[in-house]
A and B are shown apart, each in its own frame.
Chain A
């Protein structure tokens, strides 16, 4: 049935003042090669831009890359905006430089998964391929 084979749509981007895009580019390529439709926003996005883009593009999930140290404010802000704009069912995940101590708090706040340096690419691909596709 066509519905079951409809590709996942996932927004990937970098938020804030942060030019570290090597990792995110690898992630984008790996996901495309795994059959995912990636909407890539590029660098320097605000949480507002991320959320309105996610809604316009009707993605199932958002993956954010953060190396700037601002993860403790950026992830919760995106979650709050998603909820505020009626898109609370969009999965939020991410990666980059996120210290151990911050992970439990971000997960409790609703970030589904965080991938840190040296994560094997197939772990990321498996996670994304496991997301719900029906809607």
Chain B
């Protein structure tokens, strides 16, 4: 591909060509522009400037919750469900960069790998590279790239450490927060942090002891609590319906009267 190895030497005209390729849904162009954004190369923003958003905007869903609660597994099943509905799906999966070494082990996609060779699914792992707040610095730009490439549904998996996850609220139309029973202080901490950003709360790993108590407890705080066993796909249809309903209400609220 012409742009390979040339990220620093490309000129303005090339940014326009790249933008065209992104809007045509060319996967290598989508991937390369996200790399430029991550690496803070000037060409990244230059391409973004030239992107036109499609008339029908993507549905953007944020998935948050502590590590190990099942975010990646839930996303795997959401991809399957949205693909069945005929949507093209983009995923941005954010994992933490080691503050000591600068390296990162990006393992979210292990759970999503059977979608790897579906040409209508694009999955990108992003390391936080020092950014606080559960996302990477380049996540917003990457979202714009996926929107311009006309993905219908875009799922964003945050780091999920609980604190300061305000950014996802601004980026996603619907934020889903996961809890799992048996993770100790998880649910108490949720009430303080994650619950503030969540439109929908999911109690995953409902095959485990303590799920019913967690659901009862959370329903006092949040109107939309869903129970899932992500490893089996249980509750995913209900989650899809709750997301759709939230999107619908949000659209209604934004309609000029």
Contact = CB atoms under 8 A, between A and B. Distances in A.
Contacts, number: 105
How big is chain A's contact interface, by range?
35 or more
A7 interface: yes
A34 B113 contact: no
Contacts of A35: 101-103
A6 B6 CA distance: 15
Contacts of A34: 101, 103
A46 interface: yes
B27 A55 contact: yes
Contacts of B192: none
Contacts of B205: none
B110 interface: yes
Interface string B103-122: 11111011001001100001
Contacts of B117: 46, 48-49, 52
B77 interface: no
Given A45-B113, A52-B117, A56-B122, A87 B103 contact: no
B101 to A, nearest CB: 5
B53 to A, nearest CB: 21
B5 A89 contact: yes
Contacts of A40: 105-107, 110
Interface stretch (A25-33, A68-76, A100-108): A25-33
A41 B129 contact: no
B1 A86 contact: yes
A33 B105 CA distance: 9
A126 interface: no
Given A53-B109, A135-B4, A6 B39 contact: yes
A23 interface: no
Contact of B7 (A55, A56, A135): A135
Interface of B: 1, 4-8, 27-28, 31-32, 34-35, 38-41, 97-98, 101-107, 109-110, 113, 116-117, 122-125, 127, 129
8 contacts: A3-B8, A6-B40, A34-B103, A39-B106, A41-B113, A45-B113, A57-B124, A87-B28
Interface of A: 2-3, 6-7, 9, 28-29, 31-42, 45-46, 48-49, 52-53, 55-58, 86-87, 89, 132, 134-135
Given A3-B41, A58-B34, A135-B35, 13 more contacts: A2-B40, A3-B39, A7-B129, A32-B98, A35-B101, A37-B127, A41-B109, A42-B107, A45-B113, A53-B116, A58-B32, A58-B35, A86-B1
